[in-house]
Structure 1
């Protein structure tokens, strides 16, 4: 990998502020942003072979198997050989992590650590633009026009699974699933964790860390 290129993975629980932090990283450090969720949605909308397969699993209420997610991500990264990038939402399993590290050199894995109680309180005021996945939080990351998506002007909704009981369950599942990943990256000297209650508290430390790493 060229010394001028920088590749990072972003980890964080649902509601931890990943969307805001990732947008600031991408803007500040001129990196390409790759989201596994966005890529899957794009493939489904374009009715690619991968998109059709993924859509069928999703319609059946099943998780899209590792092999398809990994293929989707790695083929996208192959197009970005000459770019610095930030990867969000992948890897989510040890097999995916192995595939990624055997294919692409990674400089760092940034982990956002926000207390669960803070996330639960935050998600109670979360509104989503479902077609794009854009997320807003009232009093934290408000839409320009209340109840409307900034880009399309379409209505925002609140997900039924953003109620406190459902959120806590999701967070517990996330923690159980990502604990092995955190250990995996930590053992390889890649994991760096930033703790705080708000993005504005966490972001300056992330920014300072990356400024030092990307010199």
Structure 2
């Protein structure tokens, strides 16, 4: 008899659409492990590891990180998640990565967050982050911090991400996303596991995700594990 396991999910969408927000909701609601390649790679950059230096060469130019670097950390993260609920955020980004993932695990569902390009550009112009935790805010709208410029939890200063500041870099990221993500979306559409959600407002996505998940995954399988955010640099020694 197959051992009970949690759901294996993935979230996809362009930079600035709210993937981190939805992922954290799933951490808090379902105890899911949030396997965020963006968080893990930013930690490598922050701590100046050899991998982080390689990654920074790509991100500062608005380019996506090569497959072999992402696959290395994702494989390890999936292994550590075990039978718990988990959600992949930032991987796979292209069809080659999707096929590699297929050879490793079978996903149960994929959430596709859709937001028009102009709305994305407007959102990124006001995006703020808390560097230590990865919490994301906007200077206005439904994700504004309670005190302008300060993190709601720690009171520490919020900052703009370097790759959000330059319009040229933002456009390069969006173009690269469209080029590589559409084949991935088609790939999971063919598997009948992709569900698209309009990401106009962060709070409006919550009931849509919960309603879909209640239909897609039996309640008896929505086991509550201890909520956690999976960051490679916390679990392992940084790559030298």
TM-score bracket relative to the smaller structure: 0.7 to 0.9
| Equivalence for 2:230 | none
Name the SS for the 2:21 alignment partner.
helix
- Taking a change above 3 Å as real, the CA distance of residues 29 and 159 of structure 1, as seen in their structure-2 partners, is closer
TM-score, normalised on structure 1? 0.84
TM-score, normalised on structure 2? 0.76
Q: What are structure 1's unaligned runs of at least 5 residues?
A: none
- Aligned pair partner of 2:160 in 158, 161, 164: 158
Alpha-carbon distance, 1:182 to partner: 0.7
| Equivalence for 2:203 | 200
| Equivalence for 1:36 | 37
Name the SS for the 2:77 alignment partner.
helix
Does the 8 A contact of 1:93 with 1:177 survive in 2? yes
Distance across 1 between alignment mates of 2:46 and 2:171? 31
Distance across 1 between alignment mates of 2:3 and 2:143? 36
- Aligned pair partner of 1:149 in 148, 151, 162: 151
Name the SS for the 1:40 alignment partner.
helix
Kindly report the root-mean-square deviation, in angstroms, between the aligned alpha carbons of the 2 structures: 2.5
| Equivalence for 1:78 | 79
Mapping of residues 42-121 of structure 1, within 5 Å: 42-43=43-44, 51-52=49-50, 54-61=51-58, 63-121=64-122
**CA-to-partner distance for each residue in 1:129-155, whole Å, 9 max, x for gaps?**
345443211222122322123344332
Does the 8 A contact of 1:116 with 1:168 survive in 2? no
| Equivalence for 1:182 | 185
Question: Relative contact order (alpha carbons < 8 A, sep ≥ 6): 1 or 2 greater?
Answer: 2
